[in-house]
């Protein structure tokens, strides 16, 4: 099993290229199920989650061709052989449930395994099911599988979501493109990944209005066609690397970064004493003083502070002047990185969904264990600042959401390496 070894204390200088968004690509890939014609995705990230989604789609009979070292994915559903998403694949990644809406829309049936448990929260499927039932789907849970059918096809409907779920919004948005009549999604998620999916679907011929707002209106069409679509920049990878020079000094330019993708995050950085500047190529970041300042953080759906940047922000606040309070409102069990940061000398107290962080002058390298994807990278960032050597174990999580993290950080001056046990 691989580990990442970081020796801290080296300031960073240079540029880091930000990849296409994992969470966008995982919704864009199932969109191929809506059409017999090919969907070409450019700026695709090269991650293990993308391989898992590829395997799932191939199990349904989708042809997937990878080009340009994985940065271009060509998908074609013209010769599908199955509408069953098997547990052995779905259990590996919760985004696998995004095949449900497209399969129902085009094939009027689907059998999709329930995703397994998740280390950072249950993420129930009931919002997806209720929304699709409002569109005329008949869905039963039998032996761990959702057996869904829509005799005669889905029908446009008013679909109010009880929570602004990203996954449910994506499933309903895709399903609505081929439904008969008009669908209005209320309390829709507003994330950039939703906007990106809508742009792609529109390129395929869908009629969509309101993406990026809490009300999305979709007029169903008879069929969708071919399209080529560039995957939006990964705002979570962007935010992660924006933090890197805050830990150990220097200045880093994140290529492809745009302020509107990380506006609430950048506001918190500014309050913490970090300069973020938009350039022609991306976002340039540097710490104004010797240490960041304490700030309070509450995670919220977009455009609020992203839950997927909470772990990284906590690691930074371990070194801030003063006391910070972080409140996690999206997922339960998402402070599992806190005990590992404490092993490095951080002062953190966790009570339920709230963590209080008392900043310290320095962290010390230690062997630590990654518990999930974002926790993995938060420990690597902490290692950039720590005295001595930090060994981050169980980094198989890392490859789900960050491509070549050690190469990117080494490219701007970090002393970091991947080692195999």
Active site residues: 118
DSSP string of 318-345, one letter each residue? TTSBSEEEEE--S-TT--TTHHHHHHTT
Q: For residue 22, say whether it is annotated as part of any ligand binding site.
A: yes
Which of 272-281's residues contact partners 24+ apart within 8 Å by CB, and which partners? 272/246, 272/316, 272/317, 272/320, 274/246, 276/242, 279/253, 281/15, 281/253, 281/255, 281/256
Which residue in the block uniquely carries the two structure tokens 């296409």?
20
Q: For residue 208, say whether it is annotated as part of any ligand binding site.
A: no
Helices 310-317 and 373-385, packing angle to 10 deg: 20
Q: For residue 284, say whether it is annotated as part of any ligand binding site.
A: no
The continuous run of DSSP H or E covering 296 comes out as none
Which residue in the block uniquely carries the two structure tokens 């929304």?
131
Q: What is the CA 168 to chain-centroid distance, rounded?
A: 15
Cα(354)–Cα(362) distance, integer angstroms: 23
Q: Tell me the three state secondary structure of residue 210.
A: coil
The continuous run of DSSP H or E covering 10 comes out as none
Helices 235-248 and 263-271, packing angle to 10 deg: 10
Cα(13)–Cα(277) distance, integer angstroms: 15
Which of 59-68's residues contact partners 24+ apart within 8 Å by CB, and which partners? 59/85, 59/86, 59/89, 60/33, 60/84, 60/85, 60/99, 60/103, 62/32, 62/33
Q: For residue 236, say whether it is annotated as part of any ligand binding site.
A: no
Cα(344)–Cα(353) distance, integer angstroms: 22
Phi, psi of 248 (to 5 degrees): -135, 10
Q: For residue 293, say whether it is annotated as part of any ligand binding site.
A: no
Numbered residues of the known binding site = 22-23, 94, 308, 330
Numbered residues of the known binding site for phosphoenolpyruvate = 22-23
Numbered residues of the known binding site for UDP-N-acetyl-alpha-D-glucosamine = 94, 308, 330
């Amino acid at each position: 099993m691989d580990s990442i070894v970081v020796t801290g204390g080296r300031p960073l200088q240079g540029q880091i290229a930000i990849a296409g968004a994992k969470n966008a690509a995982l919704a864009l890939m199932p969109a191929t199920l809506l059409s017999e014609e090919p969907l070409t995705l450019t700026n695709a990230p090269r991650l293990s989650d993308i391989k898992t989604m590829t395997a799932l789609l191939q199990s349904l009979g989708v042809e997937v061709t990878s080009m340009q070292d994985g940065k271009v994915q060509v998908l074609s559903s013209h010769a599908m052989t199955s509408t069953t998403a098997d547990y052995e694949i779905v259990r590996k990644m919760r985004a696998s449930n995004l095949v449900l809406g497209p399969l129902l829309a085009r094939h009027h049936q689907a059998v999709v395994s329930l995703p397994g448990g998740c280390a950072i929260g249950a993420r129930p499927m009931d919002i997806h099911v209720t929304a699709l039932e409002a569109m005329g789907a008949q869905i039963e849970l039998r032996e761990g599988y959702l057996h869904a059918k829509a005799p005669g096809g889905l029908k446009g409907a008013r679909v109010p979501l009880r929570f602004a779920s990203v996954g449910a919004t994506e499933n309903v948005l895709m399903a609505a493109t081929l439904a008969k009549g008009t669908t209005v999604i209320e309390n829709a998620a507003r994330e950039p990944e939703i906007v990106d999916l809508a742009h792609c679907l529109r390129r395929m011929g869908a009629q969509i209005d309101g993406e990026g707002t809490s009300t999305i209106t979709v007029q169903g069409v008879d069929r969708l066609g071919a399209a080529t679509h560039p995957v939006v920049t990964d705002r979570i990878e962007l935010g992660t690397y924006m933090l890197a020079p805050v830990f150990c000094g220097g200045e880093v330019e994140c290529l492809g970064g745009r302020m509107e993708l990380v506006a609430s995050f950048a506001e918190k950085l500014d309050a913490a004493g970090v300069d973020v500047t938009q350039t022609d190529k991306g976002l340039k970041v540097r710490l104004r003083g010797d240490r960041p300042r304490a700030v309070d953080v509450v995670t919220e759906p977009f455009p609020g502070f992203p839950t997927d940047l909470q772990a990284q922000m906590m690691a930074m606040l371990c070194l801030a002047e003063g006391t910070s309070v972080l409140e996690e409102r999206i997922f339960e069990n998402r402070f599992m990185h806190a005990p590992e940061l404490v092993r490095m000398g951080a002062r953190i107290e966790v009570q339920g969904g709230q963590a209080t962080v008392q900043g310290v002058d320095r962290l010390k390298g230690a062997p630590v264990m990654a518990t999930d994807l974002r926790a993995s990278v938060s420990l690597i960032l902490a290692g950039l600042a720590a005295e001595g050597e930090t060994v981050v174990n169980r980094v198989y999580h890392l490859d789900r959401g960050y491509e070549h993290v050690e190469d990117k950080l080494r490219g701007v001056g970090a002393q970091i390496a991947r080692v195999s046990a």
